[in-house]
Amino acid sequence: MAALIGFASTSDGALVQGKVTGYLELRNPVWLAAKNPSEHGYSFREPVTTVRSVFRALFPYIPRELCVAALGAESMPPPQEAIQVRVGGGRTAPVTLVARPGTKIVFLNADPFSHALYGVGLASFPASETKGGDTRAWSVPGPGVFEIRDELAPSVRMWVVGEPRTVSIVYPSPKGEFLLSLDPGDYTIQPYFAGKPVGTAVDARVTTRDIDLKNKPIKVADKAPAKKDDND
Burial 88-111 (b: 16+ CB within 10 A, else e): eeebbbbbbbbbbbebbbebbbeb
The least confident of 28-42, 143-157, 164-178, 185-199 is 28-42
Burial, 146: exposed, middle or buried (Cβ in 10 Å; 0-12, 13-18, 19+)?
buried
Peptide linkage before 174 cis (omega within 30 of 0): no
Which pLDDT does position 224 carry in this prediction? 45
Which pLDDT does position 139 carry in this prediction? 96
Residues of the chain with pLDDT > 90, as a percent, come to: 66
Domain with CATH 2.60.40.420 in the chain: 77-162
DSSP state of 129: E
Average pLDDT value for the chain: 86
Using CA atoms, how far residue 87 sits from 79, 122, 156, 157, in Å, is 22, 19, 8, 10
CA 98-92-84 angle, to 5 degrees, is 60
Question: Is 151's pLDDT higher than 60?
Answer: yes
Closest among 122, 153, 138 to 85, alpha carbons compared: 138
Using CA atoms, how far residue 197 sits from 47, 193, 209, 212, 221, in Å, is 32, 6, 28, 22, 11
CATH class belonging to 1-39+53-75+165-226: mainly beta
Question: Is 192's pLDDT higher than 90?
Answer: yes
Domain with CATH 2.60.40.1120 in the chain: 1-39+53-75+165-226
The CATH classification of domain 77-162, taken from the options 3.40.50.620, 2.60.40.10, 3.30.379.10, 2.60.40.420: 2.60.40.420
Which pLDDT does position 227 carry in this prediction? 45
The upper half-sphere exposure of residue 96, i.e. CA atoms within 13 Å in the direction of its Cβ, equals 29
Question: Is 32's pLDDT higher than 70?
Answer: no
Phi-psi region of 59 (alpha: psi -120 to 50; beta: other; left: phi over 0): beta
Which pLDDT does position 8 carry in this prediction? 47
At residue 190, the 3 state secondary structure works out as strand
Task: Over range 179-207, report the average pLDDT.
Answer: 95
* pLDDT tens per residue, range 61-75: 999 999 999 999 999
Residue bearing the bigger pLDDT, 205 or 4: 205
